[in-house]
Amino acid sequence: MEPLMIYLSSATFREELRNGRKQFPHIFSAWVPFDKYSWPGNWITVGWHVLLCAWGGASMTAYDSNILVLLVFFGGKLDLIKERCRQMFGVDGSE
């Protein structure tokens, strides 16, 4: 987000970026097999990083959703075991 804000808010930065005095500001430091500081490599790198961030966010969301479902499932099973034990042993739970 910071490189975008710098690019949008500073006319001198945009001019220096066009002239080649400033390098393209990347969010992640990553090796790529092409020049990531000039066109089209900089936009390919940005697209790749956006794709990886979306993939990571989606996988974390799926993991968290599965954990939540498992916790609710096992909580329900424990409630069933508690109720069946009350019925088997005749404990009314009022003590």
Give the per-residue pLDDT at 51. Answer: 95
- The rounded distance, in Å, linking the Cα atoms of 16 and 24 is 10
Among 56, 55, 26, smallest CA distance to 41 is for 26
Q: Scan for tokens 């109720």, then name that residue.
A: 83
Give the angle subtended at the CA of 23 by the CAs of 18 and 26, to the nearest 5°: 120
5-28 tens-digit pLDDT: 888 899 999 899 888 898 888 878
Contact criterion met (CB below 8 Å) for 51 and 28: no
Q: Is the pTM of this model over 0.75?
A: no
- The rounded distance, in Å, linking the Cα atoms of 34 and 42 is 9
Give the per-residue pLDDT at 18. Answer: 87
Where along the chain do its domains lie? 2-89
More confident residue, 73 or 20: 73
- Percent of the chain scoring above 90 in pLDDT: 59
- The rounded distance, in Å, linking the Cα atoms of 6 and 8 is 6
